[in-house]
Amino acid sequence: MQHSNILKINRDFTDSSLPSDSSSLEIRLEKGDLIYPSWSLDSIFNSDELKVLCSHKPKGLWHQTISFHPKNGRLAGSNSKEIETLLGRVSKVLMDKIQVLLPKYEGAIRLDRVVLNNVEAATSGGTNIAKDDVLHLDTLKGGLPGETRVVKLSCNINLTNTRVWEKGPSLASLLVDSRARAELILRGKSGFYHDHSGNNIAAMLEKIGVTLRQSEVIQKKIPRKVVVFPAQSFWLAMTDVCLHSTLRGSNVLELMFFVQDQALCSGDLSAPCLLQSFFSSAIKQAAA
């Protein structure tokens, strides 16, 4: 696969691919940008704790990750009390940091879970539809009314190795790209986007997510950048509008947040608004 360019994120977390404007971090997230908080992992874990996290394996054959759920304080994928304590602590520390970093989402952002993934990227097995080494959007459903946006905070907890992503266009850019739009509309001709429950944006987003993963045109021809994250670095994305994939790396913590509709700074860039417009047009074209 040919890459348009490679973006290395240095320790000062300067991203030369992003516009140097005065937009708030919330607006930049909603546009599909990556944000790089300059937090220190050393202030959360000591070296021994990091080694424990990086070496711990999920229990059983069916678990590839370990997840902590702040709502009930329980761990899934492991019985380790030590891991439960460490992930519980990081959930509180990073939730506090996120609330300071994104003040416009105050009272409307909720941490759903913390995921510890020690599997080497692109080697997790399964079908391409489920693997993260293809460009995709996170089509997750919030647990509370009005939770339609997905924010993922990632931390490369590996002590020495980088983690590598491919970053594709934002959902807004993708839906106006002639090749991607033609591919997505083609799916509409078979009635793929119609939903029996009516105007169900969550169902539509899930369907468009399947199309993105399966489309050879989108996977091979849509522009993307390769982003290299240093060991022990943090990055943040609104991953329901930021097309991305993981190419390389192991030992990552991922904190999944949901944001409520009313807190959005640019509602016209939200996944529901973009998809309302696209599906309305796609269904009309399919019927023509």
Domain ranges in the chain are 6-15+28-287
Within a 13 Å sphere around the CA of 56, how many CA atoms are in the beta-carbon half?
28
Least confident range of 45-54, 122-131, 165-174, 271-280? 122-131
Give which of 280, 281, 137 is closest to 215, Cα–Cα.
137
Six-digit token pair at 41?
């992992």
Residue 2 DSSP symbol: -
Q: Which CATH architecture best describes the domain 6-15+28-287? A: Sandwich (2.60)
Residue 156 pLDDT level (bands cut at 50, 70, 90):
very high
Instruction: Please count the residues of the chain.
Output: 288
264: left (phi over 0), alpha (psi -120 to 50) or beta: beta
Q: Which residue has the tokens 């992930």?
A: 87
Our separate counts of H helices and E strands in the chain read: 8, 10
Residue 200 DSSP symbol: -
Least confident range of 107-111, 198-202, 250-254? 198-202
SS3 229: strand
Q: What is the pLDDT of residues 171-224, one digit of tens each?
A: 889 888 888 888 887 766 656 665 544 556 667 777 788 888 888 888 988 899
